[in-house]
Structure formats: structure tokens, C-alpha cells
Amino acid sequence: MGGRRVAGVGGEGGHSASIPWRCEARGEPFALAGAEGAVAWRSDTLQRPSDQQQQQQQQQQQQQHQYVFLQPCMMVMKVVPAVVQVKRCTGDCSFKPEKCSPKKENITLTTFHVKSFKGEKEGCTEVAELQEHGACECSCSKECGRNEVAGLDTCACDCDEKIKEQCYDRRINGGKSVMWSHQTCSCKCDNVQQCNHNKIWSHDSCSCVCNEEKRCPFGMIWNDEFCRERRDITMPMHHVRSPRGRPTARCSQLWGCVADRCVHCQ
């Protein structure tokens, strides 16, 4: 069993010497440096290290941890605190492609007030905001694009099979001239045409459609061929009475009444 990798989500507990750390949030030092030569120690919780220890500590942090560099209001000799402790998700996952990462809803901003000194005099106070992780999980770290999903076996982004099936259904059962594109993970039209005035190409219908559909007054209907209104003469005048002065989206009311007399809208 020896070096078997074990995954977990958050929680407390010790770590066996033969089992690597599991996936959870642990405190890690983050350096706040205001200028070259800023000491790496936290005066309120830690004893000040020797110069050699400071140098070793800074070298280790440069290799392992992210730095947040402040822009001090003046040249300073030191920054206090130079190192702060924040929680970061770290550890191993049982499934190799997955990585230990924070759940998005468990990331918070932690504010630190940092004082800078020039000699023995206090210079100015800076504010640093760092992200702090809460609950952790083993997941695929890569963000997939539109119509893509992360594969469970590889953590690679693959086309969504549901979208692919919908595309084939549009072609076979819907009679649309479309073809599935594995490169873009989308349903594309076989041929894209140049549309006339007032029309635009629709990738949903694979045809030219009106760029807008206006609300018609009473007695008028919308003509999709010419993208404009036209009179509707399919119903006799005396068969229809409609509310006065209120158009509808698809011209369902064909006639208007003025002073109790039904008239055709012009």
C-alpha cells in the first residue's frame, strides 16, 4: 500500500507518514513585501528569525508560494507583517487527472493592514486583500467552453453528447440542412447565404430571417418575405369587433371599432 494516494474533502485529522496529505484547506504563508530587503516575519505571532533563516525562508517561499507585492507610499526598510497565514487547498487526489481545488462558493477575500517602517519611524499603512479557501474538492481544474463537458476519465473537455444528438435530430427528423462540427462543438448550417436588405442569417433555422418583427396595428399582418406589414383581407368586416387602439404582437385583432362602427385599419 505504501505510497497510495488518498483523496478527501476538507476536515481535520493527522497525516500518516506513508500517506500524502489529502485534499483540504491548510494554512500557508503568503509574503507581503513592500520593498527589497523586507524582512519575512510576523511580529505579533512569531519570533524574529536570524538573517540566515530569513534568507532561507524567502527562498523557500519564492519556490512554493505566491507573493503579493504592495506599492508602498515611501521607500521602506521593513514591512510588518511581512508574512501572513491564509488557507489554501492543497493535497493529493486518488484520481490522478483531478486536482485539489476550492469550491467556487467557498472563496473569500481576507483583508490585512500592513505597516511600513523607515528606520524606527512608522511610514504608512497599506491594505492587502488575499483570497482564502474554504471547502475543498478533487475536481478537474480546466474550464470547459460552451457546449463542452469535462470527461470523467481524462478531465479533458469533450463535446456535450446531448447537444450533438439534438443537432442530428434537427437534420434527420426536422429536415434542417445542418451538420455537427466536432471542432467547435456546435451545430452548423451546410451553406451560409448572403441575405438581402432587412434580413439576417439565422443559424437556428439556416435561413434568412427578418432582423426584427414589428407589432402590427389592427387589420394588418406581418409579411415574413418582405419584412413589412400588409393588410389582412381574409375576414369580412362585420364578423370581427376588436378593442379600440390596442395592437397585438401577431396582429390577432384584425379590425378596429371607432364610435361603434367597425372599420378596417389602414
Q: Averaging pLDDT over each range in 46-60, 74-88, 140-154, 228-242, which range is the top one?
A: 140-154
All three cell numbers of 96, joined, read 490522478
- The pLDDT of residue 95 is 73
- The pLDDT of residue 97 is 78
All three cell numbers of 167, joined, read 443537432
Alpha carbons 152 and 159: distance in angstroms, whole number: 13
Q: What is the mean pLDDT of residues 159-168?
A: 90
- The pLDDT of residue 57 is 52
- Domains of the chain (ranges, CATH numbers): 24-139 (2.10.90), 149-210 (no CATH), 220-264 (no CATH)
Diameter of the chain measured on Cα atoms: 102
- The pLDDT of residue 51 is 62
Query: Would the pLDDT of 216 be above 60?
Result: yes
Query: Would the pLDDT of 256 be above 70?
Result: no
- The pLDDT of residue 104 is 72
Q: Averaging pLDDT over each range in 44-48, 91-95, 103-107, which range is the top one?
A: 91-95
Query: Would the pLDDT of 163 be above 50?
Result: yes
